Amino acid sequence: MPEGDVVLRTARRLTQALADGPLVRAELRWPSVAGYDLTGRRVLETVSHGKHLLTRLDDGRTLHTHLRMEGTWQIRRTVTPPEPWRRHTVRVVLATARWTCAGISLGMVDLVPTEAEHTVVGHLGPDLMADDVDVATAAANLRAQGGRAVGEVLLDQTVAAGIGTVYVAETLWTLQINPWRPAAEVEDPEAVMRTAAFLMRRSADARTMTATGDPRPGRDTHAYGRADRECRRCGTPIREGRLGRPPTDRVTFWCPRCQPR
């Protein structure tokens, strides 16, 4: 599932592409919103909140979308005659005279009043990709989880929004915290949240998305996806495990020497 860095990049791309004029094409291929016509409306901006996208329109409404596991937004030059986008996986098509944005395999599409955006994202914890991240609240949410494994807690979007399996592994490796340490026993939960926010923001702002700051192939992570390869810090083979309980358990990676249980 795309994480906060990818979603923020997507929000920026949509804002740039749709800012040059009114919508000349607006197709919502989702049962609950299929009857709405947005043609002629202008897109003010698209912002991210965790893993959610909020596309704000000039008529006081917001198009809320979520990429889920496989969703993407494709952006192409608008052509004449219009590209049909016949694939059944196309959920949304928004186009200005210059650019066409197609939401592919989106997992969620809603249309809500902009003033009511809280109805679709209000249940989430602080947005770790926000310019002014509420680190204190996110840290308090983490500490309040008591005996739950910190790695599992970080995946809980009601604790803090935006972090997923990649940045759970990278954050905990950076701070040398075992993924199964009880949340209440984490010495500095604010450092955990600051680190996660920093790593994702750095990736979102870089030319190439990277959890390490190093854009070279094979150097984009310290722990995630590196099972049985040597730890970049101590040389011990990285291990792979599961956080949570089936069927909602998620993969994680850690160094048994740097991050002992």
Active site residues: 2-3, 51, 250
SS3 222: coil
SS3 181: coil
SS3 205: helix
Tokens (6 digits) for 122: 């209000």
**How far apart are alpha carbons 126 and 241 in whole angstroms?**
27
What distances in angstroms separate CA 258 from CA 38, 153, 178, 187, 261, one per listed residue? Answer: 53, 20, 8, 16, 10
**In one letter, which amino acid is 161?**
A
Task: Confirm if 139 and 156 have CB atoms less than 8 A apart.
Answer: no
SS3 42: coil
**How far apart are alpha carbons 111 and 12 in whole angstroms?**
20
Length reported for the chain: 261
Angle at 210 between CA 250 and CA 244, to 5 degrees: 10
Kindly state the DSSP code that residue 90 receives in the 8-state scheme. E
Tokens (6 digits) for 133: 């991240």
Residue 31, number of CB atoms within 10 A of its CB: 8
